[in-house]
Amino acid sequence: MNPQPWWRTLGHRALVLVAVVYCLFPVYFMLVQSLKTAREDVFGNPLIVTNPTLENFAELFEPSGEPRGFVGRVLQRSYPFFVWLENTLVVFTGTLALTLGASVAAAYALGRLRPPGFRWLRRVIFATYVIPQTILFVPLFRVVHTLGLDDNLLALVVIYPTMALPFCVWMLSAYFEHLPREIEEAALIEGAGRIQAFVRIILPLSRPVLVAAGVFTLGTIASDFTLASVFLLSDINKTVPAGLGSMEVALDELLAVAGINLMAIPVVLISAVFARDYVRGLTAAMLEGA
Amino acid sequence: MTPAIAARTRRQREIRVAYLLLSPTLLLLLAVLGYPLAWEIWASFTNFSPLQEGATRFVGLTNYRQQLADPQFWQAATVTIVYAAVTSVAKLGLGLGFALLLARPFRGRALVFLAIFLPWAYPASVSVIGWFWTLNPPLSTAYAPLMGQLKFAVDGVLGDGAWAFISVTLFNIWRGSSFVGVLLLAGINAIPPELFEYALLDSKSACQRFCAVTLPLLKPFLALGVFLTLTSAFTDLANVWMLTAGRIVFPVIGTHAYWLAVEGGRFGLASALSLTLVPVLLGALLGLFRLFDRPDPGGA
């Protein structure tokens, strides 16, 4: 490759810098606020923290049930944050397992077994994205009630997969469809069953696409605030987003920001670990077009 | 058994297994989206309301007609379409920029990639809370006066609630451009490098190469990106709506439907209203399918 002229390298670097600042600044800002004392929050420079403290984080984990103190004459209530974290873990793990299981099964059916009309079926599944979510939760309440899942974490485990399934099925089935038949047939000839051939050959091959589906699912379900607040009513059944939404922001702004960071850090770390495979998986799934 | 019959029974078994494997996905979609959608369509043709006494009546197209005659509906529809268009274009533009910045190797590319990936990976359900309360601070923090002045300035020009609405728009663009950028980077990686080399021989300017090679090949990814982020645009709006218990007074079709349903108990009207978006989105989706199902030269 011919060397770049200096002004091009410089321009590229400048643009990269702008992009990085644009992407990181809001996250940086939230991190800085969560490390502040109430005093510094009001009087300090909003962009930096001079005396970083973890007291906001510690306060989140204080035993709940007792009022924490007063702001003026207003009672500050305490929050069962640790329970919220546990609930979020349960909901996210359950949703991920259900979404990946269901979409791999459906994608294998569409991409490898190809029942009549499979292309149309795949399109219909993807087309569910056009259904307007706005007031869908009203009839959804009836479904949840019929299933006996009122104010139950399992309600979210049932609802969340539908936010990510259409794209995951689309991606995985496109990938499965374009794997050459021979690789499976070789295993079948050697006496392996279809299931064995799938587990031993197709699944390992599609690791990046599975990772891509998983990361997409995590990012999608972690963006929901509305459904969690609608379906989880009692305080001890809330997930972190629903719980933070129920906080008195005017009184507990620093606490809420600390909670945001505590929820975000694990999710971001998991996504970052798989980021490379995420891109690789998207590329692999899209190479042929679906 | 002749081989032909054996092959056919095997195929029939395969088809049965296929439907069995599809059943969890289809059941979930039917229960969570199919039934509620059917109920919503039914409700849109009735005067159903939990507040009303007496039986629910079938009213035909009255709800739709009432919407189309309502100037508020057209205002909300305009705002919705402008919101969708502005966020989509911004996300595509920024996302394409990010993808092109990352397309060639340079020192520290992995770190820059992670930075660009971060806004999408940061869970939106909580970042939207931080974002919204930062731009609309409820109490006196160090940055509150500045934000308050901005809010008054913007609301003074554009009307009540405009600043809150703009903060959601900015949030959606911030997060969506990250998603589109990563998606388009995956798309650029899928372009065979030979094509770039041919293009290098063929034309001198980078601009020409971009328009002749990169852009056409990225088209399906651009369409997919727009479509997937369009749904998130409405999710973000709903999230803030929920978070602030309706503090956003800027009329959008979604929030307008919320008011009618939750406050007024007029589910029939609200259902009709929220269904008006479906034809628009369906049209966009058909366009996407056309981009993806190019005639396959392999004839698969």
- What is the C-alpha separation between A150 and A158, in angstroms, rounded? 12
A28 contacts on B by Cβ (under 8 Å): none
Average pLDDT estimate for B148-176: 84
Do B113 and A275 lie within an 8 Å CB cutoff?
Answer: yes
Question: pLDDT higher for A189 or B269?
Answer: B269
The minimum CA-CA distance between A160 and chain B, rounded to whole Å, is: 9
| Structure-token pair, residue B144 | 């509150």
Do A225 and B129 lie within an 8 Å CB cutoff?
Answer: yes
Residue B149 has pLDDT above 70, yes or no: yes
The minimum CA-CA distance between A140 and chain B, rounded to whole Å, is: 6
* Closest C-alpha among A187, A202, A188, A34 to residue A109: A202
A219 contacts on B by Cβ (under 8 Å): 120-121, 123, 179
The answer to whether the beta carbons of residues A238 and B140 sit under 8 Å apart is no
The answer to whether the beta carbons of residues A49 and A35 sit under 8 Å apart is yes
Of B123, B129, B289, Cβ closest to residue A123? B289
* Whole-number pLDDT of residue B131: 85
Average pLDDT estimate for A284-289: 72
Do B125 and A241 lie within an 8 Å CB cutoff?
Answer: yes
* Whole-number pLDDT of residue B298: 36
Question: CATH 1.10.3720.10 spans which residues of chain A?
Answer: 81-286
Per residue in A177-225, pLDDT (tens digit) is 888 888 877 777 777 778 888 888 888 989 999 999 999 999 999 988 8
- What is the C-alpha separation between A63 and A67, in angstroms, rounded? 10
* Whole-number pLDDT of residue B253: 81
The answer to whether the beta carbons of residues B200 and B214 sit under 8 Å apart is no
Do A275 and B121 lie within an 8 Å CB cutoff?
Answer: yes
**Which of the residues A33, A131, A178, A255 would you substitute to probe the B interface, choosing the one with the greatest number of B C-beta atoms within 10 Å?**
A131
Per residue in A67-82, pLDDT (tens digit) is 555 555 555 667 888 8
Specify the range with the lowest mean pLDDT, choosing from A184-193, B13-22, B65-74: A184-193
Residue B296 has pLDDT above 60, yes or no: no
B53-75 residues labelled b (16+ CB within 10 A) or e (exposed)? eeeeeebeebbbeebeeeeebee
The ipTM, to two decimals, is 0.89
Q: In the Cβ-directed half-sphere of B68, how many Cα atoms lie within 13 Å? A: 8
Q: Is B295 on the interface with A (CB under 8 A)?
A: no
Per residue in B229-259, pLDDT (tens digit) is 888 888 787 788 777 766 666 777 877 787 7
Per residue in B98-113, pLDDT (tens digit) is 999 998 888 889 999 9
* Whole-number pLDDT of residue B14: 87
Do B117 and A129 lie within an 8 Å CB cutoff?
Answer: no
Of B183, B254, B284, Cβ closest to residue A134? B254
Reported confidence tier of residue B145, pLDDT bands at 50, 70, 90: confident
Do B282 and A15 lie within an 8 Å CB cutoff?
Answer: no
* Closest C-alpha among B288, B260, B289, B290 to residue B275: B260
CATH, domain A81-286, list 1.10.8.100, 3.40.50.2300, 3.40.50.850, 1.10.3720.10: 1.10.3720.10
The answer to whether the beta carbons of residues A140 and A228 sit under 8 Å apart is no
Which domains are delineated in chain B? 75-245 (1.10.3720.10)
Of A98, A109, A287, Cβ closest to residue B21? A109
Q: What is the mean pLDDT of chain B?
A: 83
Instruction: Tell me which DSSP letter residue B74 carries.
Output: H
* Whole-number pLDDT of residue B295: 44
* Whole-number pLDDT of residue B198: 77
CB atoms within 10 A of CB A145: 11
Of B21, B140, B190, Cβ closest to residue A286? B190
A19 contacts on B by Cβ (under 8 Å): 97-98, 101, 112, 115-116
- What is the C-alpha separation between A33 and A28, in angstroms, rounded? 9
Tell me which residues of chain B, numbers 156 to 185, contact chain A at a CB-CB cutoff of 8 Å. 174-175, 178-179, 182-183, 185
Residue B176 has pLDDT above 60, yes or no: yes
* Whole-number pLDDT of residue B259: 77
Q: What percent of chain B has pLDDT over 70?
A: 92
Q: For residue A161, give the amino acid letter.
A: P
